[in-house]
A and B are shown apart, each in its own frame.
Chain A
Amino acid sequence: DIQMTQSPSSLSASVGDTVTITCRASQSIRGYLNWYQQKQGKAPKLLIYSASKLQGGVPSRFSGSGSGTDYTLSISSLHPEDLGTYYCQQAWSGPVTFGPGTRVDI
Chain B
Amino acid sequence: QVQLQESGPGLVKPSETLSLTCTVSGGSMTNYYWSWIRQPPGKGLEWIGYIYYNGNTNSNPSLKSRVTISVDTSKNQLSLILTSVTAADTAVYYCARHPSAAEVFDSWGQGTLVTVSS
User: Which A positions have Cβ atoms within 8 angstroms of B?
Assistant: 1, 32, 34, 36, 42-46, 49-50, 55, 87, 89, 91-92, 95-101
Contacts and interface: CB of A to CB of B under 8 A. Distances in A.
Contacts of A36: 105
Interface residues of B, number: 19
Interface string B86-118: 000000001010000011111011110000000
Contact of B44 (A32, A50, A87): A87
Nearest to A56: B106
A91 B104 contact: yes
Nearest to A96: B47
Nearest to B6: A43
B105 A46 contact: yes
B94 A98 contact: no
Contacts of B108: 43-45
B110 A91 contact: no
Contacts of A99: 44
A101 B44 contact: yes
B32 to A, nearest CB: 14
A98 B106 contact: no
Given A50-B104, A95-B61, A96-B47, 14 more contacts: A36-B105, A43-B109, A43-B110, A43-B111, A44-B94, A44-B105, A46-B104, A46-B106, A49-B104, A89-B103, A89-B105, A91-B103, A91-B104, A100-B44
